[in-house]
Amino acid sequence: MLMMWIYIAFGLVLLIVGGEVLVRGAVGLARKIGVSDLFIGAVLVGFGTSAPELVASLNAVSENSPGIAVGNVLGSNVANILLVLGVTALIYPIISHPKALYRDGFFMLCATLALAALIYFNGFASRITGIVLFVILVGIIVASFLTDRTETGDETAAHMHSDEAELMDGHLPLYASIPMALGGLAGIIFGARFLIEGCIELAESIALSQTVIGITVVAIGTSLPELVTCTIAALKKKPDVALGNVLGSNTFNVFGILGVTAGIMPFNLPMDEINLTRDLGALGISVMLLFLFAFSGKRISRWEGALLLLGYLVYMVLLVRS
């Protein structure tokens, strides 16, 4: 029992530190080779903070625990909205930029509907499904990049991505950037392995389903890089970065993580471990609250952030008591 908790704690620490180091190393390397702020913010930071979810999901499926993989993505998407945006808005209200919100929000909504459909119809058993999801992700990246390059003004997604790149730029020399990026990736890989092994044992020992463990322990752990990034942004009074980060991360989690996972290792989701009303309901409600708050006053205020956090607490209680 003690070793189980050591595995989980050690895995979480490696994921958190590895995710942060990977992003900073990758950003430093990108700076040295002349990559634009737009690409750094839109691709490297967003995908780097989602790397723990990808590695954890691949490890879970390889260990014959697909419930953890799907629970990780579903739980991370809920946590990104209710927990990450909730904490960020409490620190500093989040201004929503209409142009970015319409486009990136649309992509996230499509990802949410796709995730709900895949869970409901158990659509992860086909490698073709995984390939299609990944191709959609590539299309979204290309469309976003081309759109951002043509946008001007402070209320564009390009502005948010530039801020994101600036926040994660440690001005590292080349000889430090490469080892940091490789070391961060190694930390994520080993951290995911320890975390998944510990969580499988935890699920068996306390009679909770692997999917619930994925939605809670694994999802919170793999969402911590996003929380760190967004908290830094809020403390530096650039909380709008958090909204772009969450929208992009939630989109990547579905099309990228589940796409790659199903494309490499197709799997059958144990439907008896999913409570469709509770879990898909939580996902749907979190997305509706995000759009309601972001569009209503063109900002997510502190009281709205507190409400998001309260919603996350309620969902966690329902999960544990199930």
pLDDT band at 312 (very low <50, low <70, confident <90, very high): very high
Q: What tens digit of pLDDT does each residue of 221-254 get?
A: 888 877 887 887 788 777 777 787 888 889 999 9
Give the phi and the psi of residue 300 in degrees, each rounded to 5: -110, 110
Output the CA–CA distances (angstroms, integers) from residue 69 to 35, 94, 281, 288, in the order listed.
32, 30, 19, 24
For every residue of 154-222, DSSP letters joined together read TTSHHHHHHHHHHHT-----HHHHHHHHHHHHHHHHHHHHHHHHHHHHHHHHHT--HHHHIIIIIHHHH
Cα distance between residue 274 and residue 75, in whole Å: 12
The whole domain housing 282 covers 2-320
The total of structural domains in the chain comes to 1
Q: Which residue has the higher pLDDT, 245 or 61?
A: 61
Looking at mean pLDDT, say which of 8-12, 48-52, 108-112, 271-275 comes out highest.
108-112
Residue 273 is given by DSSP the state G
pLDDT at 159: 59
pLDDT tens digit sequence for 177-186: 888 888 888 8
Query: Which of 69-73, 97-101, 246-250, 297-301 shows the lowest mean pLDDT across its residues?
Result: 97-101
CATH number for position 121: 1.20.1420.30
Give 168's pLDDT tier (boundaries 50, 70, 90): low
Displacement of CA 231 from its chain's centroid (Å): 15
Q: Mean of the pLDDT values across residues 57-83? A: 93
The rounded mean pLDDT for the chain is 84
Q: What is the pLDDT of residues 132-162, one digit of tens each?
A: 999 999 998 888 777 766 654 444 555 566 6
Alpha carbon 86 to its chain centroid, in Å, reads 15
Residue 169: predicted pLDDT: 61
- The pLDDT value given to residue 236: 78
Q: What confidence score (pLDDT) does residue 153 get?
A: 45
Asked if pLDDT for residue 109 goes beyond 90, the answer is yes
First-to-last C-alpha distance (Å) of the chain = 22
Task: Indicate if the pLDDT at residue 42 is higher than 90.
Answer: no
Predicted local distance difference test score (pLDDT) of residue 143: 82
